[in-house]
Structure 1
Amino acid sequence: MIGLALAVLILGGMAYVRLSPMDPARWHQPVEVQTDQDLPVGAVRVLAGGDALFRAIDQQMRALPRTQVLAGSVEEGRVTYVTRSAVFGFPDATTVELRADEVRIFGRLRFGASDLGVNRKRLEGLTAAVQGG
């Protein structure tokens, strides 16, 4: 009986993580950080470049597995994406914003206190892909 209850709790938790909605009003916010940072909950990268770089990053984000646009558009100058982990479906939000002659990218987790470097790795991969490195 305890095993069944535990299984129901685990499955319920997995369903909650995978199916809970992400509120665009909360996650689609300006990226105010002005320098590269690695945080327990995510990472920020600030890249020199304009519209062409912004569009290249947008294409790379849209090509990532299990990634969807949450809010915004290239024309708006800010797009927020949700990328879910393969097994449990943990959502991470990534906001990409064009600011004059720079692109700011902020990837962060939704659940937990540490993303274990997942967002940093994603942003490093994006950076390498668009800068040819």
Structure 2
Amino acid sequence: MGRVMTGLLILFAGVVIAFGYVRLAPSDPVFWHKLPEINADKDFKRGVIRVVETGPDGLARLSQIATESPRTKILAGSIGDGMITFVTRTRVVGFPDYTTVQQDGPHLKIYARSRFGRSDLGVNRNRVEAWIAALQS
């Protein structure tokens, strides 16, 4: 019985440490506040890329939608810079997802990706598509 309890305590401590790291790990704007070359929509295991025609005020409108979303805040950038990176955290564990949005003429280039895991289970796609739908309504 003692070995089982010790094993369970070690497992529990490992889970607490892992969750603590996920929630407390710093988000370096130098690493996350950037875009790859974006020309067309793309889905991948840990995120999405979208190009949306919005007019010249798309970034300002999307910024308002994003910052009103639950657990979302600005990591870096501004409307004046023409590019903003948002961090959205999951409700329970606090996994961070990063969404970088750049105004490029009448288009918004949107790059959403997760930091941890092999797949985001479609969370970034769903969030970005909801933001785009709100933007277009």
TM class by shorter-chain length? Answer: over 0.9
Distance 2:84 2:36 in 1: 11
Contact 1:54 1:96 in 2 (8 A): yes
Which amino acid is 1:129 matched to? A
Aligned 8 A contact 1:48 1:101 in 2: yes
Partners of 2:21 and 2:114 lie apart in 1 by 15
TM-score by length of 2: 0.93
Partner residue, 1:52: 57
Greater than 3 Å deviation, 4+ residue runs: none
Which letter maps to 1:53?
Answer: G
Q: Any idea what SS the aligned residue of 2:132 has?
A: helix
Paired residue for 1:98, among 80, 103, 107? 103
1:20 aligned residue: 25
- Structure 1 runs not aligned, ≥5 long: none
Which ranges in structure 2 are unaligned for 5 or more consecutive residues?
1-5
Cα offset, 1:100, TM superposition = 1.5
> Partners in 1 of 2:11 and 2:121 — Cα distance?
26
Identity among equivalent pairs (%): 42
Q: Which protein is bigger by CA-based radius of gyration?
A: 2
Q: Scaled by the length of structure 1, what TM-score is found?
A: 0.96
Aligned residues: 132
Specify the code of the residue in structure 2 equivalent to 1:32: E
SS of the residue corresponding to residue 97 of structure 2 reads: strand
Matches within 5 A, 1:36-115: 36-115=41-120
Q: CA RMSD in A?
A: 0.9
